Chain A
Amino acid sequence: MSRYPDLCLNPKECVCQEMGTVDPSIFWALLFKGAFYGMKKREVGEKYCLSGHPTLPCNVLKFKSTTIMLDCGLDMNSTLNFLPLPLVQSPRLSNLPGWSLKDGNAFLDKELKECSGHVFVDSVPEFCLPETELIDLSTVDVILISNYHCMMALPYITEHTGFTGTVYATEPSVQIGRLLMEELVNFIERVPKAQSASLWKNKDIQRLLPSPLKDAVEVSTWRRCYTMQEVNSALSKIQLVGYSQKIELFGAVQVTPLSSGYALGSSNWIIQSHYEKVSYVSGSSLLTTHPQPMDQASLKNSDVLILTGLTQIPTANPDSMVGEFCSNLALTVRNGGNVLVPCYPSGVIYDLLECLYQYIDSAGLSSIPFYFISPVANSSLEFSQIFAEWLCHNKQTKVYLPEPPFPHAELIQTNKLKHYPSIHGDFSNDFRQPCVVFTGHPSLRFGDVVHFMELWGKSSLNTVIFTEPDFSYLEALAPYQPLAMKCIYCPIDTRLNFIQVSKLLKEVQPLHVVCPEQYTQPPPAQSHRIDLMIDCQPPAMSYRRAEVLALPFKRRYEKIEIMPELADSLVPMEIKPGVSLATVSAVLHTKDNKHILQPPPRPAQPTGGKKRKRASDDIPDCKVLKPLLSGSIPVEQFVQTLEKHGFSDIKVEDTAKGHIVLLQEAETLIQIEEDSTHIICDNDEMLRVRLRDLVLKFLQKF
């Protein structure tokens, strides 16, 4: 380590040759407590936003030489532009007219079909992937998954980008994520489509199409669904983690999943080094539903809190929506109609079934059959019962009774709830109306739901109740128009709303909040609702798709360990009460992002009685140790001293950083600043030394 420069009289910082700047305040404070001190780093964090969807995030964080992908969400809204895939041949869908340009040109009529004024692509549905061009994804070291909804793009990333890292996720996230992927693959693969449309994606042609096709972004990057093989390969790269488990990444960063209260195994992540802490909050809930409650306390003292996955319907309270769901369901069934609930095979459906369990008897619906149809229905219902440790306290206690934690077990036992892998097979034998059917996919573009929409759409007695908030229900319904059945929109989104966020931020008090730009302004349709945006101080930093953001870390220090024998050799000197200083000469050893100060190798014993200075390349230069100085120079007293020593015609000027003392007669300038003092005189070494000694009188030496 170098010494302070000669004229560095009031040191606030010293320069470390190897690594950067050492902050003396940290140095002083910590030196005698243990064996480490901080080193200021010049590096900052960077965040690459690969997804514009706030609830299906995909961000890359570059932090302390590690590249971490946060979530891997797949935006499925692109599928709304496609025609539904019917399980059973649908004359209506197959007879839809082809679309032609205004001038009558019908070259796209094989690819595009028209239905009630909307145009749809007649092809296998495709998905909009996260950005793959913004950053070389093969450099991603790890992927952290926060919940099963936010990992649906995983096969695209792990299998097609040269990714060689590790994925971290909790066990329920992996298992249920696998079910969701399996269902998706199954829904799409079981209805093979002969043709694949690509003409319409041509930019020149796309411009001619009606909305929303015309406005669809980056259609050229849209991809077909992955295969089961890719799913399995992707999932094999996942390493399972438990809540609060600390995972070291290359010795530089530690990542920890925390319960986020949103879904089984859903997590927020803490990413921290010794001096910086980034919290990644994604899809969290403070409501008492089935998962373990959210761990808020561990999010405290974050330098940066990245906030994603808030509720998509901030104006709809989940409790009210459940009430609405039950009322409409009962009303329809009492009138002899059927109820269709397009849903995912896991998540809110557990809560809905629990509500219905309590409600059906009181509403006189005991005789109404409830059907749950999904290729993974059975696994989903069974998985939910075995993840006891991931459940809320009430449900955990049930396990010890022992009772199944979810009441849908009883519904199944009493034959009120029946589940089937698809409409084919047993279901057609058992099917009884009026009934309630839970089935996927919520986009209404594939899955068994397409069949029920075709079957029940013509009767006004039936009702379709949308509970999943991921898709616009009007757009989802567009290819089924004209539709006689009643449509009810009861989106149940248990994720944080803005009031809860505001309380959370007050509680955990991060220094900076980073969030998608959608959260920093009221929803476009309700521009006056300033309550529907994040309100924090300092204002949240926002990001959008394909944007790179420099994260505002305020402190940038490295932890350096001091070997015990080196610490033993230090002789601290108290320069003011509670503050002691010691000089240290050592070798800084850096390996695997760990820094250790080791004692310098002992100089070879002098041969004979001759004292000889010896320099070595390995040993820092510690031959001419000059005393270190500290303190400040009171200008008025300094001037008086100068006058006492015979200097006259002294002029003092204030500068931005300190003072300039001008000795006009001697044509000399003394520049006094907070951390340095310069004596500028013309080749008069005697005068300089005299002045230096006068300056030194005001400072402490050690």
Chain B
Amino acid sequence: MDPECSRLLPALCAVLADPRQPVADDTCLEKLLDWFTAVTEAGSSLLLLQENPCLVELLFHVLKSQDLSSRILSFSLRLAGIFAAQEDCFQYLQQGELLPMLFGEVGPLGGAAWTAPAVRSGWIQGLRTLAQHPSALHFLAACDIPQVTQALSVLTTAFGHCHGLWTQGLWVRLSPLVARLLEKDPVPASHSLVDLLLSVARSAPSSDRDLWETLAQTLSHLSPTQAGPLALGILKLQDCFIHRLPKDRRDSWSSPAQSRAGFILRTCSAAFCHLPSGLTLWILGHPVPQVLRTQAFGILLQPLACVLEAAAQAPGPPGLLEGAAADSMMVDTLLSSKSACVGLLCCALAHLGLLQPLPQRPSPWPQAPLLGAAVTILRLCSGSAAPTSDVGGRLCAILVGCGRVQRAALDFLGALSQGTGPQELVTQVFSVLLEYLVSPESSSMVLKKAFQATLRWLLSSPKTPGCCDLDPHTQLFLRELLPVLQKRLCSPCWEVRDSVLEFLTQMTRHCGGQAGFRQALLASEVPELTKQLLRDPESYVRASAVTATGQLSSWGLCATPAIPECPGAQQESLLVELLHILSTDSEGFPRRAVMQVFTEWLRDGHADVAEDAERFVAGVLQAASRDLDWEVRAQGLELALVFLEQLLGQRGSHCPYAVALPETAPPGVLDQALQVLCRVQLFEFAFRALFDCDRPVAQKSCDLLLFLRAKAAPCGSSQEAGDSPNVASVEATLQRWQAGEQGQPLGYLEPGAVVALLRSIDLEGLRDTLAESSDHVEKSPQSLLQDMLAAVGVLGENEADCY
């Protein structure tokens, strides 16, 4: 600990222990706790207590004092928890019997202070924090915890921190208690119980059959709504799937999410190779019994099985969703009330949606029945399903028009796009999606989800072999979709217009090159309507319209030219129109969008930009430099960087650990590039940004100039410009800018002067300063202690920081 802090600590403890000097600000106590957490994480708590006996004194004092505020009591309990989290420190505190006094019956638990919620919260947090080592677990076992929920909560944390034998030991004592809880109907504190059991399961050794039995019992005892999270938790348990998975499948994950998951798993599996074999076995060796997994999966599937069965026109084949035959209890729950039905279905859909992309999801995954269920639920919600059964009719009456279920089902349907399904079902998926997109009854949120799901299905739909184009079904769907987009683009609800534009942007980004899509789009009025929305009254819509037209234009799909003999006229006018938005739009979002489009255009070599990139960059930077929105200025720097890279070559690896010398540009190229950069006034823009009042802008500019300096390294000695009067005056101007007087222009800069300036400015120093957060001075613990003391008048006023 900082000696200055150590010096201030006794006074602070005295203040805290003094009921006549109440601490006015709760956040100070929170900050203190954060600080102590950081200090104990960095070093020994025992040493801290030994060096600062005032802390233990504070804890003892708190116990004795009768009239202390509940917040100080709560603070002390939490503080004790932080110290006792380290086993040696725990023993030290135990020597004085401090912990039983703080957390046991003799402490606040049995006193009047217990009525204060803050004290109860502090007590439980303290216990949760300290439950990290075997001694603490013994201590917990001896503690008589008054309420089931609190007990479970503490125990859950305990299991989170202990492994192997300790878990087993604790579980042996705990399992009879859990069994007793399960005898009650309804099961009390089910949420906490689920958390506890999952926590135990995550840390339990594989051989504990008793645990799996308890989990199975719990699954069957809990109500369908309560059992869902437990079922999901069980299915998510990392069993030894890595070993079970065939290698070819491990490598064949294609989606980004799966790739990420695959990467992590491969990394983990590599890491396990270096572990002692016993430990590896322990980590990987607790396969969840298949029976339990089937039971858990059945619970998640059951609500959907019920829906499928209720809505079926004729009795379906048995075991449509294996292990999830619709039972009467589930039907009763679904039909008991609207809230129960909606809650259960939303949970089931969300849980299955979470499970879908995971590699440890149950196999075989019932993709087709799940697709069928999602489609059926959506049809019941829209009223287009016509169930013949009584249950189906009642379900329809409950679900019709229910936005929450619609949103959940659309999300789930979107998630299912990662798998395949029989063509008939896929056709049904597209048909129900179209139904939602067309229906005037779809709310803007539902519509947004419908667009998202549609996009996912369109992007995952198979391409026609050989011609890289959309398959006939998709093309047919697109033809039906475009009139809907047209109408939706005219919606009076801005959220709807915005969703369409977002959808259009994404579709164009991914399918802009496909003939079928291009043909359908160009035959519609969508491009023209999109362009009209550049003048939409709602700024979000304008921003989305900018992005969409930018994307359309990149693929040559913008509205057809008004004058056929001048094919370039329309495109050029779009550039002008976007520049106009950049310089005149009153809202930031459209201007930011324009900058992003321009950056993309420059990066991709958009024809109109490439024609005269220099003029384009000059114009954009000029507009961006005047912008009041820091994100626009920051995006301006991004555009400048793209331009720089195009002139001087790519930046090196972004990886901070990559060992590579900066690549310098050949002198000829560099001179030429510097000339260009001076002409487009990139330096004026970058230097101005360097002293920008918004830190991210300044940081970005600093990075850009550092990159440029690295590229310009060889030019150094040959230039004498450093001494020229031009450089001196520029430096003077820059100093004034740094001081906040940015009125004066920099004037035209010679390339030589630029290089000299780059050398003379301490860019590294500037970067380090900028890297520190703006409140780093005020955030120091010393400052915190001083503030707290100053607040109660222990320190002189002038010693306090001013916020």
Q: Which residues of B contact A527 (CB under 8 A)?
A: 386
Within the assembled complex, what's the spacing in Å between the Cα atoms of A330 and B487? 9
A531 to chain B: closest residue by CB: B397
Considering only residues 629-660 of chain A, those with a C-beta below 8 Å from chain B are none
Could you give, for residues 491-515 of chain B, a 1 whenever the CB lies within 8 Å of some chain A CB and a 0 otherwise?
Answer: 1110010000000000000000000
Report which of A321, A331, A334, A528 forms a contact with B440, defined as CB distance below 8 A.
A321
A247 CA to B134 CA in the complex, in Å? 84
CB-CB contacts of A497-527 with B at 8 A, as 1s and 0s? Answer: 0000000000000000000000000000011
B-contacting residues, A331-345, CB 8 Å = 331, 334-335
Contact check, A328 vs B487: say whether CB atoms are below 8 A apart.
Answer: yes
Q: Mark A357-372, 1 if CB is under 8 A from B, else 0.
A: 0110111100000000
Which of A315, A328, A361 makes the CB contact (< 8 A) with B383?
Answer: A315
Beta-carbon contacts under 8 Å, B387-406 to A: 387-388, 392-394, 396-398, 400
Q: Contact at A361–B537, with CB atoms within 8 Å? A: yes
Inter-chain CA distance A315–B396, complex, in Å, is 13
Shortest CB distance B539–A (Å): 12
Q: How many residues of B contact A (CB 8 A)?
A: 30
Give the shortest distance, in Å, between A329 (CB) and chain B (any CB).
8
Q: Which of B392, B400, B441 contacts A316 (CB 8 A)?
A: B441
Q: Which residues of A contact B394 (CB under 8 A)?
A: 530
Q: For the complex, what is the distance from the CA of A363 to the CA of B538, rounded to whole Å?
A: 11
A362: B residues at CB distance < 8 A: 492, 536-538
Whether the pair A364, B535 counts as a contact (CB closer than 8 A) is: yes
B383 — which chain A residues lie within 8 A by C-beta? 315, 526, 529
Q: Which residue of A lies closest to B487 (CB)?
A: A327
Q: Is the CB of B441 within 8 A of A326?
A: no
Q: Shortest CB–CB separation between residue B543 and chain A, in angstroms?
A: 16
B33 at the interface (CB under 8 A from A): no
**Given A321-B440, A490-B440, A529-B400, does the pair A327, B490 have CB atoms closer than 8 Å?**
yes
Closest chain B CB from A210 CB (angstroms): 30
Cβ of A530: which chain B residues have Cβ within 8 Å of it? Answer: 393-394, 396-397
Q: Encode B457-494 as 1/0 by CB contact (under 8 A) with A.
A: 00000000000000000000000000000111011110
Q: A320 contacts the other chain (Cβ, under 8 Å)?
A: yes
B490 engages A326 (CB within 8 Å):
yes
Query: B396 to A334, Cβ gap below 8 A?
Result: no
In the assembled complex, the Cα of A526 lies from the Cα of B386 at a distance in Å of: 8
357-387 of chain B: CB within 8 A of chain A:
383, 385-387
Which of A321, A323, A490, A529 contacts B396, CB < 8 Å? A529
Give the docked Cα–Cα distance between A358 and B492 (Å): 9
Is B392 a contact partner of A363 (Cβ separation < 8 A)? no
Residue B525, interface by CB 8 Å: yes
A317 partner, pick from B396, B441, B487, B491, beta carbons under 8 A: B441
Bound: A504/B192 CA distance, A: 40
Asked if A411 is an interface residue, CB under 8 A from chain B, the answer is no
Contacts of B529 in A (CB 8 A): 334
The reply to whether the CB of A44 lies closer than 8 angstroms to some CB of chain B is: no
Structural contact, B492 and A528, CB atoms closer than 8 A = no
Is A584 engaged at the interface, CB distance under 8 Å to the other chain? Answer: no
CB of A339, distance to nearest CB on chain B (Å) = 12
Q: How distant is the Cα of A335 from the Cα of B397 in the complex, in angstroms?
A: 40
Proximity bits, A303-333, B CB within 8 Å = 1, else 0: 0000000000001110011111011101100
**Judging by beta carbons under 8 Å apart, are A330 and B396 in contact?**
no
Residue of B nearest to A365 (CB): B490
Nearest CB in chain A to that of B488: its residue: A327
Interface of A is mostly: helix
Q: Does A355 contact B (CB under 8 A)?
A: yes
A51 to chain B, nearest CB (A): 29
Contact B400 A364 (CB under 8 A): no
Give chain A nearest CB distance to B448 CB in angstroms. 15
A364, B531: Cα distance in complex, Å: 12
Asked whether any CB of chain A lies closer than 8 Å to the CB of B769, the reply is: no
Contacting A at CB under 8 A, from B424-444, are 440-442
A320 to B446, CA, bound (A): 13
A358 contact set on B, CB distance < 8 A: 492
A334-B532 in contact given A326-B491, A327-B487, A528-B388 (Cβ < 8 Å): yes
Q: Does A355 contact B492, Cβ atoms closer than 8 Å?
A: yes
Residue picked from B488, B491, B525, most chain A C-beta under 10 Å: B491
CB pair A324 B440 closer than 8 Å: yes
Of all chain A residues, the one with the shortest Cβ separation from B386 is: A528
Assuming the A-B contacts A315-B441, A334-B529, A364-B532, are A528 and B490 also in contact, with contact meaning beta carbons closer than 8 angstroms in the complex? no
Is there contact, CB below 8 Å, between A363 and B441? no
Contacts of B387 in A (CB 8 A): 528
User: Chain A 562-598, CB within 8 Å of chain B: the 1/0 string?
Assistant: 0000000000000000000000000000000000000
Q: Which residues of A lie under 8 Å from residue B441 when comparing CB positions?
A: 315-317, 320
Bound-state Cα–Cα, A614 to B496, Å: 92
Interface centre among A315, A321, A358 (most CB of B within 10 A): A315
The reply to whether A335 and B440 form a contact with Cβ atoms under 8 Å apart is no
What are 18 A-B pairs with beta-carbon distances under 8 A?
Answer: A316-B440, A317-B440, A326-B491, A327-B488, A327-B491, A327-B492, A355-B492, A359-B492, A361-B537, A362-B492, A363-B492, A526-B383, A528-B387, A529-B396, A529-B397, A530-B393, A530-B397, A531-B400
Given contact pairs A355-B492, A361-B537, A528-B385, a sample of 12 additional A-B residue pairs in the complex whose CB atoms are under 8 Å apart: A323-B493, A326-B491, A327-B487, A327-B490, A327-B491, A331-B487, A334-B490, A334-B532, A363-B492, A364-B532, A528-B388, A531-B398
